[in-house]
Amino acid sequence: MRLPGSPGVLQDIVKGALEQAGLVVNFFCCLHVTSNYLLSTVHVQGISMLPTLNMEGNLLLVEHVSPRMGKLRIGDMVSVQSPLNPRRVLIKRILGMGGNTVTYTDPARGDATHTAVVPKGHVWIQGDNIYGSTDSRQFGPLPYGLLQGKVLCRAWPIGDFGSRGH
């Protein structure tokens, strides 16, 4: 039997504390890898993706493997780092990939139709609401490196769970 204050008891306490700390570190490492490289949620609200997403807010499930594997295609909804404010995440739809010619209307520049060629290594993204979206029509083709993930489904509101809005 060990007496309190004896070296063996202190060693057991330190060993137990280190084991607990190791579990906490492992948990946060797994959480970091999962949310940055596999799957995460993004809360988005605003008018740029109306009517696909509602203005009050949606919680979207986003996977991060497709952009790294080059598995995105025209029509996919994606999360991107804003080229205008790197702290913001945008949800937009891919309308053109590298090498494509995109035809678009920009209400801010009149009703004329414009065309743009998307350079290799870039994508053309737009919000579904052309009257209320800041997108490639304003900042041009987006470098592929700013793509963060592909929207898998809506997690909230619960009535729209699973819907991708295509």
**Which amino acid, one-letter code, is at 104?**
Y
The reply to whether 163 belongs to the active site is: no
Domain 41-157, CATH class in plain words: mainly beta
Predicted pLDDT at 161: 57
Global pTM reads: 0.75
Report the distance separating Cα 137 and Cα 113, nearest Å. 11
- Please tell me the predicted confidence (pLDDT) of residue 19: 83
Per annotation, catalytic residue among 35, 40, 71, 92? 92
35 catalytic, yes or no? no
User: Which of 90, 94, 86 has its CA nearest to residue 60?
Assistant: 90
Q: CB neighbours of 156 closer than 8 A, spacing ≥ 6? A: 57, 58, 59
CB neighbours of residue 98 within 10 Å? 14
Kindly give the residue spans of alpha helices, DSSP state H, lying in the chain.
7-33, 65-69, 136-139
pLDDT for residue 110:
77
- What was the pLDDT predicted at 166? 47
Q: Could you say which residues of the chain have pLDDT below 50?
A: 166
| Annotated active-site residue in 6, 15, 48, 150 | 48
